[in-house]
Copies of this chain bind each other. A is one copy, B any other.
């Protein structure tokens, strides 16, 4: 089971939802980047649960420490080891559902594939694993911002922001959850990134996005709308319908993507579930869960995009 992402800027992530800590080794970061924990912590804070009534009430400080790779305030080019301790893990919450596969979760396939199941919140399948991407991604973002003036901005675009709060609250009241769409703008991307055949910018971005837990769709530029357009419309100079890449290569225009997330599978509403013997029963998932994954996915989307870009820029 691999936790490695990237080739030249490779992150090796580790840690279970209910283990001692979570972390990442960032391999291939160029030397000379000014870096401290203060450059990483704000991104973890944005991702952190328990900040508003719209997200899960699990409280973790998620404090990052840098263990290597920085000397006299600057990266040295050597691997940067990042660690975040898990301070609050109430395994007890999961005891009651350890005999049932949670619907919409990886519990059943995980058990089938690996022959065991870490019933404490999904182990590596937990969204808590995204801490590693956000922490490592914040280094990528700093590098790209300082060297190329590139920015990664994401936001929840569905449900529409005006009624998002009420939609989420309604779902929460019913013990239910809703899906969401995250839009991503990459401002001032370096031009000439990506290659014309396999390592296309959009292919690497798609892979990064579709490896975020609960992601079900990815589109760039006009995306699925492009299917309904005429060539004469889509081609128009200066209108950037392609979303910033041609034949896999960045033009330097801003890049626009959208990522679809399914509704959080953990809901407290009573629902049908299977167990190891294939029997059907009913369960209600307690614990502290986000009614809308999309909200907390925002910094993860930004981080994943930045990580993709590091390989694109180093392979250039």
A197 to B12, CA, bound (A): 11
Q: Does A218 touch B at the CB level, under 8 Å?
A: yes
Binds B, one of A26-34, A38-46, A50-58, A139-147: A26-34
Q: Does A187 touch B at the CB level, under 8 Å?
A: no
Q: Does A254 touch B at the CB level, under 8 Å?
A: no
Interface residues of A in 239-286 (CB under 8 A from B): 241-243, 245-251, 258, 260-267, 269, 271-274, 280
Contact A210/B206 with A249-B110, A271-B232 known, Cβ cut-off 8 Å? yes
Q: Does A103 touch B at the CB level, under 8 Å?
A: yes
Q: Does A188 touch B at the CB level, under 8 Å?
A: no
B206 and A67 within 8 A (CB): no
Query: Which residues of chain B come closer than 8 Å to A267, judged between CB atoms?
Result: 231-232, 235
Most chain B beta-carbon neighbours within 10 Å: one of A16, A116, A216: A216
Query: Which residues of chain B come closer than 8 Å to A71, judged between CB atoms?
Result: 16, 19, 116, 118, 123
A196 and B106 within 8 A (CB): yes
A281 to B266, CA, bound (A): 57
Bin chain A's interface residue count: 35 or more
Query: Which residues of chain B come closer than 8 Å to A192, judged between CB atoms?
Result: 109, 112-113
Query: Which residues of chain B come closer than 8 Å to A169, judged between CB atoms?
Result: none
* A 273-301 to B, binary, CB cutoff 8 A, 1 in contact else 0: 11000001000000000000010000000
Among the listed B108, B177, B211, which residue makes an inter-chain contact with A198, where contact means beta carbons less than 8 Å apart? B211
B251 and A108 within 8 A (CB): yes
Query: Which residues of chain B come closer than 8 Å to A263, judged between CB atoms?
Result: 226, 229-231, 233-235
B222 and A262 within 8 A (CB): yes
Q: Does A200 touch B at the CB level, under 8 Å?
A: yes
16 more A-B contacts (CB under 8 A) besides A105-B247, A231-B264, A237-B274?
A1-B31, A2-B28, A2-B198, A76-B123, A78-B123, A106-B248, A109-B249, A110-B196, A198-B211, A206-B210, A211-B248, A219-B219, A224-B224, A226-B260, A232-B269, A237-B280
Q: Which 3 A-B pairs have the closest CB atoms?
A: A106-B247, A217-B219, A12-B12
Which positions in A face B, CB cutoff 8 Å? 1-5, 7-8, 10, 12-16, 19-23, 25, 27-28, 31-32, 67-69, 71, 76-81, 83, 103-106, 108-110, 112-116, 118, 122-125, 129, 158-159, 171, 174, 176-181, 191-192, 195-200, 202-211, 213, 215-237, 241-243, 245-251, 258, 260-267, 269, 271-274, 280, 294, 315
Q: Can you offer 27 A-B residue contacts whose CB atoms are under 8 A?
A: A2-B198, A3-B78, A13-B197, A14-B67, A15-B81, A21-B68, A71-B118, A77-B114, A78-B123, A105-B246, A105-B247, A106-B196, A109-B192, A109-B247, A109-B250, A125-B247, A178-B230, A179-B228, A181-B227, A198-B211, A202-B216, A203-B206, A217-B217, A217-B220, A219-B260, A229-B262, A233-B263
